[in-house]
Amino acid sequence: MYIGVDCGTQSTKVVVVDAADGRIVGEASRPHRLEQGDGGRREQRVEEWTEAFRVAFGEALANADVEASQVRGIGISGQQHGMVALDAAGVPVHPAKLWNDTETAAWNAGLIERLGGEAGCLDKLGLVLQTGYTASKIAWLRDTHPDAYRRIATLLLPHDYLNFWLTGERVAECGDASGTGYFDTRRRQWRHDVFAEIAPELDPEAVLPRLIASREAAGTVRPALARELGLGDEVLVSSGGGDNMMGAIGTGNIAPGMVTISLGTSGTIAVHSPDPVVPDNAMVANFCASHGGWLPLICTMNVTSATTTLRELVGLDIDGFNRAVAEAEPGAGGITLLPFFSGERVPALPEAQASLSGMTSFNTTPANLCRAAVESATFGLRYGLELLGPLASRATQVRLVGGGAKSPIWRQIVADVLDVEVVCPRVTEAAAFGGAIQARWCDQRESDVALATLCRDWVALDEETLTHPRVEVVARYHEIYGRYRDVLKTVHGVT
């Protein structure tokens, strides 16, 4: 058995995968508490992750009716960009600052300027710093919590921290490291000169984790923790990766011409490239993949987080929300939502707020508000997809994952807005599943297994979710998307 873990913003999910055929035989999840505050603060205590892992791990094994001693490997997927700053004893000096924290926008702007603007960032890093990246969080901690900053001995990302908790090893891999803002995504190495601009008092050789290859194991589970969890000796922990990188593996997106879109708390669009990409736009992230190659990526901040806000506003459960969306016509009766409840990364509006326009006494209904929420989240993804140019435009099928992908009406809206065939993998927890696949691939006892073979044999598509764009609705949505872009330009000056 191989264990896949996805430590996300809202919960930790664990899947148990049978190595004989790639079936998920057990799964469980445990929620996290999110600490939020004015100014865009979004933080979590690392204990939320480790406790959720313990509980979900035990429940998943129980649901699978297998013993922990049967586990051969564990693969961790984690929310990207989070800052986990540890002291010499491995204790956090501050709660983990998350990917969707926008409190550090001013620090990010300052770093971009010091690095020579967007051109300087592209030259040094292969991408342009975004507020959500780890770099500005470290700069923020330096200025606002100097006592905590001075105690930093190690800087990790969320998935790195779980690997450290499991193994005691302080390592990182290139996919997740790409989103720190002090990693050269083309040469696959830390940029010590950039790090010096962020944290001049810290020695990068000491505080940055050792980089390992995607197929290299982070280590094995610590004996004391293995005994606590009931694991056998020498249980491998794979390199792991960011949730987008592991989601790519979990959907079989490891070859050119494939597109994975996640309808999660945030929205992501990932395409595979065998070579590093030189982006024309600062909003395209030239990330490394966690299996080799590169994973150019677009991330929007408000997807199911936005639809949940509107759903709760009108007092509906998920089934009622989906029925309301289906009842409304395309275009939501003329209502346009800019869903920037958490600011926005694409377009680059970290301090933006959400707004509704086009409301009248006739069209302001719960159904139209719900439809506007789903449409606006999807329009944001279309905006991002267009920025990827030929890498995405050649795709004939999108593999859709995340909580929103479970909704048939949302799948249809995605197909119509993007004018492309949409299908879901049978396993919708793609990031956790990708962790299990990577763990099998990294297992030295199975060193002859090819990742392409695993993805071919294990990643199956759910043909019942196959959704085709409707020609007449595609044309309507082209006009409605134009209205969305007009409102975006009027309110925020974004063309």
Domains 2-239 and 252-428+460-495 share a fold: yes
How far is CA 183 from each of CA 81, 112, 133, 174, 197, rounded to the nearest angstrom? 12, 14, 11, 8, 13
* CATH number, domain 252-428+460-495: 3.30.420.40
Residue 48 in 3-state DSSP? helix
State the number of CA atoms in the 13 A half-sphere of 14 facing the CB: 28
pTM for the whole thing? 0.87
pLDDT over 90 at 402, yes or no: no
Quick one: pLDDT at residue 465? 97
Residue 495 in 3-state DSSP? coil
With contact defined as beta carbons under 8 Å apart, do 50 and 68 qualify? no
Residue 385 in 3-state DSSP? helix
Residue 187 in 3-state DSSP? coil
Quick one: pLDDT at residue 345? 87
Confidence of residue 189 (pLDDT cuts 50, 70, 90): very high
Of residues 230 and 445, more confidently modeled: 230
Domains of the chain, by residue range, sit at 2-239, 252-428+460-495
Quick one: pLDDT at residue 137? 98
- Percent of the chain scoring above 70 in pLDDT: 100
Q: Does the domain spanning 2-239 belong to CATH 1.10.630.10?
A: no
**Catalytic site residue 486?**
no
Confidence of residue 495 (pLDDT cuts 50, 70, 90): confident
Q: Which of 184, 243, 416, 443 is catalytic?
A: 243
pLDDT over 80 at 448, yes or no: no
